[in-house]
Homo-oligomer: A and B are copies of this chain.
Amino acid sequence: MRQETIENYLKTIYNLSSNNTAVVNNQKIADRLSLNPATVTEGLRKLHELKYIVYEKSYGSRLTTSGSKLALDIIRRHRIWETYLAKELGFGWDEVHAIAEELEHVNNVKLINKLASILGNPIYDPHGDPIPDEKGKIQKSNFIKLSETKLKLNYKVMGVTDHSTTFLKYLEKHNLIIGANINVKTIEDFDNSIVLICQKKEVNISPKAADCIIVQSI
């Protein structure tokens, strides 16, 4: 199996099992990687043989210790590159993901650690996602989705779970960038859309968008 293929599967499985405890089903992997489900079934069988995952037929996959280690390594590379592109090379948070998708496969420990060191060993990437350290350790947080917030409370934007240019440009337009302070004004009973105050302006957020914004209570 090509290394790049392995890496893309493992990264996806890790991201889909959130806390790395849940079992991941094939269809979601197929969706994320834009592959036919048949291809995924084959791929998972091979990854199981390579002992990167435990794959139970018609049930799902979960990473082994070695699979988890590799996954975290790729995620580290991806997020370090995203941060370096944004902080050192002047790219926008909506541009970095696509480039990092390619750079993440360049495997050179010294290079990644050097970039990390220049950045001051950051813990979060430009989208608020945590960056694993060299040993694969991740900072854990108590962040919640904007869609789970309570009325009248104050929050700080800590991250996003959608990295698409369209979404990020949309957020920028309303000053909903990382670090922004917001106040949840009303939650519409009708469709669960959220009206919030950000920089003194009222912004109406659809439930779908609110599900992609990560905040912290302040």
Contacts and interface: CB of A to CB of B under 8 A. Distances in A.
Interface in A10-41: none
Contacts of A89: 111, 114-115, 118
A174 to B, nearest CB: 26
Contacts of A91: 110-111
A90 interface: yes
A106 B77 CA distance: 15
Interface string A98-141: 01001101111011001100100000000000000000000000
Contacts of A115: 89
Contacts of A103: 103, 106
A106 B111 contact: no
The range of chain A's interface size is: 10 to 19
Contacts of A111: 85, 89, 91, 99
Contacts of A106: 99, 102-103, 106
Nearest to A115: B89
A110 B90 CA distance: 10
Contacts of A99: 106, 108, 111
Nearest to A111: B99
Contacts of A108: 99, 102
A102 B118 CA distance: 21
A38 to B, nearest CB: 22
Q: Which 7 pairs of residues, A with B, have the shortest CB-CB distance?
A: A102-B106, A89-B114, A99-B108, A103-B106, A99-B111, A90-B114, A89-B111
9 contacts: A89-B115, A90-B114, A91-B111, A99-B106, A99-B111, A102-B105, A102-B107, A102-B108, A103-B106
